[in-house]
Chain A
Amino acid sequence: MNYEEKLQNVTVLGAAGKMGSGILLLTAVEMADLSLKSENKGKTFCLNAMDVSQEGLAGLMKYLKDQVMKLAEKKTVVLRHTYRERADLIENEDIIREYVFDVMNIVRPVTTVESAYNSSLIFEAVIENLDLKKKLLSQINENNPHMPWFFSNTSSIPIHVLDNAAKLDGRILGFHFYNPPAVQRLVELITTPNNSTEMIEFAKNYARNLKKVVVLSNDFAGFIGNGHFMRDALHGIHEAERLAKEVPFAEAVYMMNKVSQDFLIRPMGIFQLIDYVGIDVVQFIMKVMNPYLKDEDLHSDLLDKMMNMGVKGGQRSDGSQKDGFLKYERNKPVGVYNPVTNSYVDIAEFQVKCDEKLGGLPDSWKPWKIVNFSKDKKESMLISYFNELKAGKTLGAELAKKYHIRSKEIGNKLVSDKVANNKEDVNTVMLTGFFHAYGPVNEYMS
């Protein structure tokens, strides 16, 4: 079965979810582009968007339409060529509308798993629950006569565990998109020795056509991305807990968030990132990963405590940020959670005091959004900044140095544990999947 044939009937499981909807969008566009090639004229392409939520599917179709429209507006130059034989499509608007229709026309929103019985390729993006994944995958596998391939978006469960549990004979690999899939360029590709070369090659091809950066990760729980993020988050949490022995909890969280964002020139502070991903999701991923880790305990009492208080973070369906460790107004942190009173304290109340305690940022500091997009100057900016930070004696500088060193340690461990094949892959994941301005395995502090 060639590339096109494999993509003629596809199912995305969990299509209305945050990751599923992005995967559906990218796949729908790829399939539509294939269907519009002259050699594929007359062939039917079908993409089942499977989800248990009717409401979610309705939202998905709206999301899909809006996104495809934006995409079509961006690639109208190419689309005019695609539709050059269509005499009835003259203006850009005609062409954009037709393209949106052609993409939407491939997608079948469905709520029953039976739709996947005819698919050659199945993307799995349901919640991180091994039992659920096992049930769905094995049911489809038993009833689908086409020996389908399963691409799992799991970010934490080892692929061989899914393979064995659902008895898929190596017809599953990890194809881990980053959130949101339509924007983030990274895909972690997790293969197992049981995968066929054909399947791996297809996966690489497909990723390339989606213009993704592929990093090969070995089959260890959490892979590279969460392997770094979870440990990095735990470090931030532990540091905040340590600080909280001397200052109120909310101030400690604020300070570590500032250290991890500003002092480390990252796009978000660690607590904001945890909120962005969802406290529930972070707790869950740690729980999934932990049993597979021999020499460490990837677990946080603080996350448990937050969950027990019902503070979860995550995002609303319109993309706005829900309150978690931090309280948000227009997606900007304005308060910090106080577990004692179960309420948020305004950052403005203690910001000046905490900033003074941390000490000023080094003179050569520039925010992430400047550094990250400074192309040729980025490297020299980072070198001079970290040189200055290294010499810094303030509390902020000390916390940042410790954080930086821990982040590097985590990166190196991913290589020595053979999760990543090399340090460059670790850095690529953090650069492209987490939008860091620099990879964790670097020499800035040596």
Chain B
Amino acid sequence: MAAGYNTVSMGTGRKEFNPKKERAGLEYYIKEAGQGTLKQIGGAKNVDEGSIGNFMAARFNKQGHLAGFIPYIDEELQWKPCIRTEGACASGALALMSGMKSVLAETAEVVLTVGVEVQNTMKAIYGADVLAGAGWFKNRKNGHAYFFPGQFSDRAKAYYDKYGMEYSRKGMKQWFVNAIENARLCPTAQEYENKVADLGGLYDGMTPNGKAFVDSLNVLDCSKVSDGASAIAIMSEEGLKRCGIQKSEAVQVMGYAQVERNITDDPPDKTELTTIKKAVHRTLEMAGITINDLATIEVHDCFSIAGILSTEALGFAEPGKGAQFVADRNTARDGRIPINTTGGLIGWGHPTGGTGVHQAVTIWEQLTGRAGAAQVNIPAGRPYGMTINMGGDDVTVVAIVYQRGDF
């Protein structure tokens, strides 16, 4: 993969965001991201196929049929095979998987992959209805008004009950602080302009209040409501040559895993991200590495508790020890394993269907030394990166291991 491009993650936090004014729509974001990638690969003529990940444009934007927007990016994409993927918030990574499978099947040498979501078209209370589509609709009636925050609030509560609330929230607070501090280093991040001096104090001042929101999370524990798109080119070695891209400017996929859990079942254990655990295990196995070989990871922190649980699912901490692992700054940019180096879903933003592609772009930037102010050290002895993209409550998971192309 190479030639990644992220639009700004637009929404509250960005100075230019005004919910009362008309804003750019889906097509704008798709085009900006797509063209951003095409410019780096010698234009649309080099592309064989397109894939686009999106969760709920059908409701957020009253727009279905998104594959048809790929030729809109550039007229030279007209008449080429395109596909749209949907797997809730893992839609983006499914678009990556679709592209990767085309390359592996040798039906394409170059696939343009885009992920997009434009969510700020409605108030949060209605957006919650739309996002609830990532769960089983039969559970909607008895779910929380803010359905997904409710699901992860329940997970947080289970974690608090088992390991202590104060202890757990120390880790969740540090997760939030890391997210904002990292986002401040990335100009496209939604929280790039966040100027709050005492982030920890801000977090401590917002005790979860079930009357206004959910019982066990505050809004700082949640990812952003975002408009944005990301794009990247998935290429074979032949494709790299065709596009004139050096291996050192690309990342190679060393392992991948795509895992699905039955959406009609409750999670087997609320304090564990079981599907992520399986996906991580499989992708590491395929890559033939261990977590100790990873230099940086993008995890799916739709909520801070998901971040904590991800460190446990990855195996960096024993069950119940993830909060401590994070509180001790192990996942900070200068910590043992820098996670979500441009802010993740809480700091950079979470254009749901775009997130999976954004994660790949971030890892590509980090491993090829293009992350600018957000660049972290990639030790020669630990040259791997990983992305974990999750759809719904640990239902659809895609985990990918990457390494710079010239290793």
Contacts and interface: CB of A to CB of B under 8 A. Distances in A.
Interface in B120-167: 123, 125-126, 128-129, 132, 137, 140-141, 144-146
A91 B128 CA distance: 9
Interface in B42-67: none
**What is the size category of the interface that chain A forms with chain B?**
10 to 19
A80 B140 contact: no
Given A90-B140, A92-B126, 19 more contacts: A73-B123, A73-B125, A76-B125, A77-B145, A77-B146, A77-B211, A78-B211, A79-B145, A80-B144, A80-B145, A87-B141, A90-B137, A90-B141, A91-B132, A91-B140, A92-B125, A92-B145, A93-B126, A93-B129
Contacts, number: 30
Contact of A91 (B123, B129, B211, B213): B129
B140 A96 contact: no
Contact of B144 (A73, A77, A87, A96): A77
Nearest to B143: A80
Nearest to B138: A90
Interface string B347-360: 00000000000000
Interface string A93-120: 1001000000000000000000000000
Q: Which 3 A-B pairs have the closest CB atoms?
A: A91-B129, A76-B145, A77-B145
Nearest to B142: A84
5 contacts: A77-B210, A80-B144, A87-B141, A91-B132, A92-B128
Contacts of A90: 137, 140-141
A80 B142 CA distance: 9
Chain A interface helix/strand/loop/mixed: helix
A80 B144 CA distance: 8
Nearest to B123: A73
Contacts of B213: 77
Contacts of A80: 144-145
Contacts of B132: 91
Contacts of B145: 76-77, 79-80, 92
Nearest to A94: B129
Contacts of A93: 126, 129
Chain B interface helix/strand/loop/mixed: loop
B73 to A, nearest CB: 33
Contacts of B125: 73, 76, 92, 96
Interface of A: 73, 76-80, 87, 90-93, 96
Contacts of A87: 141
Nearest to B133: A91
Nearest to A81: B145
A76 B214 CA distance: 12
Contacts of B210: 77
A76 B128 CA distance: 11
Interface in B239-258: none
A78 to B, nearest CB: 8
A59 to B, nearest CB: 22
Contacts of B126: 92-93
A245 to B, nearest CB: 46
Contacts of A96: 125
A187 to B, nearest CB: 23
B151 to A, nearest CB: 15
Nearest to A79: B145
Contacts of A77: 144-146, 210-213
Contacts of B123: 73
Contacts of B129: 91-93
A428 B382 CA distance: 65
Nearest to B214: A77
Interface string B200-242: 0000000000111100000000000000000000000000000
A76 B147 CA distance: 12
Contacts of A91: 129, 132, 140
Contacts of A78: 211
Nearest to B124: A73
A284 B274 CA distance: 72
B125 to A, nearest CB: 5
A75 to B, nearest CB: 9
A375 B181 CA distance: 28
Contacts of A92: 125-126, 128-129, 145
A92 B137 CA distance: 13
B114 to A, nearest CB: 29
B202 to A, nearest CB: 15
A372 B79 CA distance: 62
A238 B41 CA distance: 76
Nearest to A88: B141
A92 B211 CA distance: 16
Contacts of B144: 77, 80
Most chain B Cβ neighbours within 10 Å, of A76, A80, A91: A91
A86 to B, nearest CB: 9
A235 to B, nearest CB: 39
B238 to A, nearest CB: 48
Nearest to A73: B125
A52 to B, nearest CB: 35
A80 B137 CA distance: 16
Nearest to B137: A90
A142 to B, nearest CB: 46
A57 B115 CA distance: 49
Nearest to B132: A91
A73 B128 CA distance: 12
Contacts of B211: 77-78
A91 B211 CA distance: 18
A87 B140 CA distance: 11
A76 B211 CA distance: 10
Interface string B330-370: 00000000000000000000000000000000000000000
A125 to B, nearest CB: 31
Nearest to A87: B141
A235 B314 CA distance: 72
Interface string B59-103: 000000000000000000000000000000000000000000000
A96 B132 CA distance: 16
A91 B212 CA distance: 18
Interface string B104-127: 000000000000000000010110
Nearest to B147: A92
A357 B137 CA distance: 68
B177 to A, nearest CB: 23
Most chain A Cβ neighbours within 10 Å, of B126, B146, B210: B126
A77 B124 CA distance: 13
A85 B210 CA distance: 21
A136 B390 CA distance: 66
B223 to A, nearest CB: 19
Nearest to B140: A90
A90 B132 CA distance: 11
Contacts of A79: 145
Nearest to B126: A93
B137 to A, nearest CB: 8
B130 to A, nearest CB: 9
A78 B125 CA distance: 13
B377 to A, nearest CB: 42
Contacts of B212: 77
A96 B210 CA distance: 19
A90 B141 CA distance: 5
Most chain A Cβ neighbours within 10 Å, of B125, B210, B212: B125
A73 B146 CA distance: 12
A74 to B, nearest CB: 8
